[in-house]
Chains A and B, each alone.
Chain A
Amino acid sequence: MSLISSQTGYLLEHALIDWHDESSPWSEAFADIYWHREGGLAEKQHVFIEANHLRERWSDLQQPQFNILETGFGFGLNFLLAARLWQELAPPGKLLHYQAIEYAPVTLTDLARLYASLCPPTNTEPGAGQLHDLAQRLESRYPLPTHGMHPLWITDTICLNLIYLDVSVAMPLITEPVDAFFLDGFSPAQNEAMWDPALFSQCAQLSHQQTTVSTYSVAGKVKRGLKAAGFDIKKIPGFAGKAEMLTACLSSAVPRPQRRRTSRVVIIGAGLAGLNCAAALLRRGIEVEIIEAQDQPLMGASSIPQLAVYPQLAAVPDNRACFSLAAFQYLAQQGDYHACGFDLTPDTAALQERLNKIDGYFPNSFAHLRPSLLDPAIVSLHFPTAGWLSAKDAFSATLQHITLRTSTHVASLQRINEEWRLTDAVGQCITTADTVIIATGANALAQTQPLNLNSNRGQAIQVRRNEGRSIETVVSGPVSVFPADAEGLQTVSGTHQRNSNSNATTSADTAELLARLQQFLPGEVQPTSAHAGVRAASRDRLPVVGPIPDWTVLANWCQQQARAQPAFTAYQPGLYLCTAMGSHGATHGPLCGEHLARLINHEPAAFDPQWHAFLGAERFMIRDLVS
C-alpha cells in the first residue's frame, strides 16, 4: 500500500511572489495580493482575532487546549497575531494548536523579507517586540515544503501545524474539534476551488456551539456555502470603514466534545522509544512512570554514545522516506542535537545512483553531493543540517521528571476492572494504569507477539584517534565515524547481525570496526569502550506506533475482508505501542512519541492520520490475511 505513490517529488512548488514594494507581496499564480497594505496587521487583527472574540475567550479559558484552523497560511500574519495574544493571556499549562492549510508555501527568503519590513527589531510600539520574537521563532523553524503536516513548536505552549496539502485533501484529515476558523486565502474570484461547498460542510462537522468562523469575504458563494452547511452568518463592519466581513457560528447547539483527561501513563521500556514518549507526555503535564527490565535506562542499543540523526530517503518518495523526512524535520526544528552535518558514502553503484537521484530533489541547503571524506574518489551525499545526538544528554532532564522503576521485568499485562495490571514473572503486581505504552524491543508480551518483530544486533566502539584526518561531520558508509564528543572520543559503528538477541560485545566485532576504520582513516587509535545492543525491527523496517488492535477481532475482520466492511477500529482501550525503531530511534523517536502523546491527549494529529496504514500495528496481519 502506498498512499504517497501519487507524489512525483518530495517538495511542493513554492508560491511565486512579485514584490511591488517591501510590504506588499503579490501572488503571480492567483493574481491577488496577500493583504491590503493600507490595513496591514491591524486589518488582520480586526477580521480574525477580534471577530473570533479571542481576547474574551482566552482570558477565561477553561478547556485544556484551543484549536484554530486556518485556510491559506500565506505569510503567517494571522498566526503571529494569534500567538502574541495567546502569550499575553493564556493561563499556564494550556496549549494552542494552530493548524494552517497552505498548498503554495512562500519561501523562507520571502517570509524573512516581509518580516524584516513588517516587524523589525527596531519597532518600539507596544507588542512589536513580541511580534518580532515570534516571527524569528517561525523563521528558524520554517520547514522544507514537503507534502503533509509540519508540527512546529513555536513556544512551549504554541504548536503551529503547517499542513502543506490542497484544502480538499487536508480537511478530511482534521480529526479534533475546532474552536475558531480563520477562512483566509485568496478571494473566491481568484481561487474558486478552495471555497467549495465541501469546505463549509467539513467546517460544520468539526464545529461545536462555541466555535466561531470569520472571513473577510462576503461573496455570495461564501454566504450560501456557510448557510447550507448549517451556520448562522452575520455581516459585521470591516476594518476601519471598509467593506463588510462575515462571522458565523453553528445554528444548532452541539456541545464541545468532553474528552477524558489522561493524567498518568505507564511506559514499558526506558529506551529511545519509551523516553521519547515520556518527553512528549511531560510537555503536556502528564505524569509518567517507566518500567525497565535492565538496571539502568538507555541500555542496549540506546547506550551507544553517539547516535546518527538524518533522514532515510529513497530515489522515489515512498512511505518510509516521507515518514523519515517528517520525523527528521520534526527533530530538526527543535535543534536539540549536534547539527554538524552527515555524509552518506555509497559502497555500491546502485546506492550511488540512488543518492544522485535524491540530490536532485532538494536544495543544497538540505542535501548536496560532494567528495566523500572516507574516500575522495567516491561522491557522497551531504546533509548539512543532520548530525548526531547523545541519548544520555538528550534525556537527562526527562529522566529527572519521571518515576523510573529499573530491574523490573513485566511478564504480563492484563485488563482487570477497566485498567491494565502489569505483573512480573511470579505474578506479583508491579503497577496498574489506565494508559500503557509498550516501548520494549522484543516480543516479550502477549499483546505484541502477533507483530513478530526481528531482533538485530549491532555493535559500536568508542575510540580516541591520536592521529589521522580529523572528522567534523558524521561520516556513514562501510563504517560510520562520528566527530569527537566533549571528551574527545569518537564513535565507530557498522556491524549488524540479523536475528541475534545478544547484548554482549564481542572482540571480533571490535576488531572488525577497527580494521574498517584503518582502511578509510588510517592512524593510531585507542579503543576506549564497546557497546552492543539489540534493536527491534519490523518486516517492512518502519516503526510500529499507535493503538494496539484487539488481535482476535482483527483476525476475524481480515477473514471477512473479501466482503466490503467498515474500516478496522477495534483497539484495546488505553494500550499503545511504540517500537521497531531499528537503528533510527534517534531520528524517528521524537515524532513517534509526539504522535502517541497527541492520540492520548486528544490533540490534532502530528502527521497525516492516513499514515497509520503503514505505521499501525495491524498492518502486518492485514497484509498477510487479506491477500
Chain B
Amino acid sequence: MTHLTRRTLIDVSILATLQTDKHLRLFDCRSSLQDPAAGLLAYTAGHIDGAQYVDLNRDLSAKIVPGQTGRHPLPDRETFAAQVRRWGITQDSLVVAYDADNGAYAARLWWMLRWLGHPNVVVLDGGYQAWLDAGQVSSTRLINLPESAFFVRPAITRQVAADELQPPQGLLLDARDRPRFEGKTEPIDPVAGHIPGAVCAPFGENLDGATGRFRSAADLRQRFNGLGATAAGDTICYCGSGVTAAHNILAMVHAGFPEPALYPGSWSEWIIDPTRPVTTL
C-alpha cells in the first residue's frame, strides 16, 4: 500500500516511477465546458498509459433537472460508488487524476473520491502537458479492470447547501474570473454576479502562470491568507457549477489549511431561485 500524507498533488517524475504499481489507478479527466465530446476525442488520440477516461458530465455529475439543479449536480454517493467500482478502485488504490486544463476537472474527481471517504487520491501537477514535456510517452491502449469491491466511508470533505449561505458563516470564496464575479459578463449562466458576501478568488491564481504548475504551499498559504482564510476552517468554496471550486479546495488543503467546505450547486444553482440575493459590482 502506498501511503501519502500530503494527499493533494503528485509530480510527473514520481508518477513515472509508480506506473508499475499494482495499486495505481490513473484517470484522464480532460474535458471542455464548451465541447462535451472534446475530452473523449483527446483521450482516444493519446493518454498516459494505464489511464481510464472520465467524463465530467457522465461520470462526475448527476442529470441536470432544469429549474432545480445547477449545471453539474453531484450524483448520490451510492451511484458514484458504483462507478468507482467499475473503475476498479479499492480502498488500497492510489488514484491519480489529470486533465489538460490546470487541474480543475481532476480536482473535481479528487474531491468526489474524498467525499466517498477515499483519502489516497492526488492530482498530477501540471497535467497531461507536464507529462509530455517531461519526455514521457503517450499511449492509445484502453484498459478495462474487473469491477472492484469499494465501500463508502465517512467523507473527508465538507459541504454546505444554499440555505446555509444567507448570510455565509465564514469566508465565502468564488473561484470564477473577476469579470464574471463582478457581473460584467456571464458567458455560461443566465444571471451575472455573485453570492452576497463572497470574495473573488479565481482558481487560475493557484497556478504559476509560467509553468502551469501549482504554486508552492508557502505561496498558496500567502494567497489564501490574503483573501481572509484562517486556520479556523470556516472557509466555503463555490464557483459556476462546483467544479473549479474543488481546485481552490485542493490548493487550500495543499497549503495546509483545514478542509474548506464546498457549495456543490454553486452559482448555477443559486440563481435558480429568484428570491436569493445577487450582488454585482
Q: A334-B1, A401-B6 are in contact. Are A88 and B20 (CB under 8 A)?
A: no
- B154 contact from A90, A136, A398, Cβ within 8 A: A90
Q: Which residues of A contact B156 (CB under 8 A)?
A: 92
User: A334–B6 Cα gap in the complex (Å)?
Assistant: 21
- Would you give the shortest CB distance from A55 to chain B, in whole angstroms? 13
B17 to A392, Cβ gap below 8 A? yes
Overall SS of chain A's interface? helix
B1 to A92, Cβ gap below 8 A? no
User: A90–B117 Cα gap in the complex (Å)?
Assistant: 10
- B10 contact from A136, A155, A400, A486, Cβ within 8 A: A400
- B3 contact from A92, A130, A132, A279, Cβ within 8 A: A279
Q: B153 in the interface, Cβ–Cβ < 8 Å?
A: yes
B14 to A92, Cβ gap below 8 A? no
Q: Give residues of chain A (330-388) contacting chain B, Cβ–Cβ below 8 Å.
A: 334, 336
Can you list, as one digit per residue, whether each of B1-32 has a CB less than 8 Å from chain A (1) or not (0)?
11111100011001001101100000000000
Q: Of residues A155, A283, A392, A397, which shows the largest number of chain B Cβ atoms within 10 Å of its Cβ?
A: A397
Overall SS of chain B's interface? loop
B149 to A132, Cβ gap below 8 A? yes
Q: Which residues of A contact B6 (CB under 8 A)?
A: 400-401
Nearest A residue to B120, CB-CB: A156
Can you list, as one digit per residue, whether each of A512-535 has a CB less than 8 Å from chain B (1) or not (0)?
000000000000000000000000
User: A304–B173 Cα gap in the complex (Å)?
Assistant: 50
- Would you give the shortest CB distance from B105 to chain A, in whole angstroms? 22
A285 to B1, Cβ gap below 8 A? no
- A129 contact from B5, B94, B119, B149, Cβ within 8 A: B149
Sample 7 A-B pairs with CB under 8 A, ordered by A number. A90-B154, A130-B151, A156-B3, A336-B1, A393-B21, A396-B14, A397-B4
A486 to B117, Cβ gap below 8 A? no
Question: Can you add 4 more A-B contacts, CB < 8 Å, to A336-B2, A396-B18?
Answer: A87-B153, A155-B92, A282-B3, A400-B14
B119 to A156, Cβ gap below 8 A? yes
A92 to B119, Cβ gap below 8 A? yes
With an 8 Å Cβ cutoff, the count of chain B residues facing the other chain is 24
B20 to A486, Cβ gap below 8 A? yes
Can you list, as one digit per residue, whether each of A115-137 has a CB less than 8 Å from chain B (1) or not (0)?
00000000000000110110010
With an 8 Å Cβ cutoff, the count of chain A residues facing the other chain is 32
Q: A287 in the interface, Cβ–Cβ < 8 Å?
A: yes
User: A190–B15 Cα gap in the complex (Å)?
Assistant: 56
- A393 contact from B3, B17, B149, B153, Cβ within 8 A: B17
Q: B61 in the interface, Cβ–Cβ < 8 Å?
A: no
- Would you give the shortest CB distance from B119 to chain A, in whole angstroms? 6
B3 to A283, Cβ gap below 8 A? yes
- Would you give the shortest CB distance from A427 to chain B, in whole angstroms? 28
Q: Which residues of A contact B149 (CB under 8 A)?
A: 129, 132-133, 136
Q: A450 in the interface, Cβ–Cβ < 8 Å?
A: no
A-B CB proximity, top 6 nearest: A396-B17, A133-B149, A397-B2, A92-B156, A283-B3, A282-B5
A397 to B153, Cβ gap below 8 A? no
Q: Which residues of A contact B18 (CB under 8 A)?
A: 393, 396-397
- Would you give the shortest CB distance from A127 to chain B, in whole angstroms? 9
User: A286–B153 Cα gap in the complex (Å)?
Assistant: 22
User: A396–B94 Cα gap in the complex (Å)?
Assistant: 13
Q: Which residues of A contact B14 (CB under 8 A)?
A: 396-397, 399-400
- Would you give the shortest CB distance from B238 to chain A, in whole angstroms? 23
A156 to B1, Cβ gap below 8 A? yes
Q: A91 in the interface, Cβ–Cβ < 8 Å?
A: yes
- B4 contact from A89, A393, A401, Cβ within 8 A: A401
Q: Which residues of A contact B4 (CB under 8 A)?
A: 282, 397, 400-401
A397 to B3, Cβ gap below 8 A? yes
Q: Which residues of B contact A401 (CB under 8 A)?
A: 3-6
User: A36–B238 Cα gap in the complex (Å)?
Assistant: 54
Q: Which residues of B contact A285 (CB under 8 A)?
A: 5
- B11 contact from A283, A334, A400, Cβ within 8 A: A400
Q: Which residues of A contact B153 (CB under 8 A)?
A: 87-88, 90, 92
Q: B136 in the interface, Cβ–Cβ < 8 Å?
A: no
Nearest A residue to B150, CB-CB: A133
- Would you give the shortest CB distance from A322 to chain B, in whole angstroms? 25
- Would you give the shortest CB distance from B56 to chain A, in whole angstroms? 26
Q: A153 in the interface, Cβ–Cβ < 8 Å?
A: yes
- Would you give the shortest CB distance from A121 to chain B, in whole angstroms? 9
Q: Which residues of B contact A398 (CB under 8 A)?
A: 3
Q: Which residues of A contact B5 (CB under 8 A)?
A: 282, 285-287, 401
Q: B91 in the interface, Cβ–Cβ < 8 Å?
A: yes
Q: Which residues of B contact A87 (CB under 8 A)?
A: 151, 153
Q: Which residues of A contact B154 (CB under 8 A)?
A: 88-92
User: A357–B235 Cα gap in the complex (Å)?
Assistant: 65
Q: Which residues of B contact A155 (CB under 8 A)?
A: 91-92
- Would you give the shortest CB distance from A120 to chain B, in whole angstroms? 13
Q: Give residues of chain B (124-164) contacting chain A, Cβ–Cβ below 8 Å.
A: 149, 151, 153-154, 156
Q: Give residues of chain A (129-155) contacting chain B, Cβ–Cβ below 8 Å.
A: 129-130, 132-133, 136, 153, 155
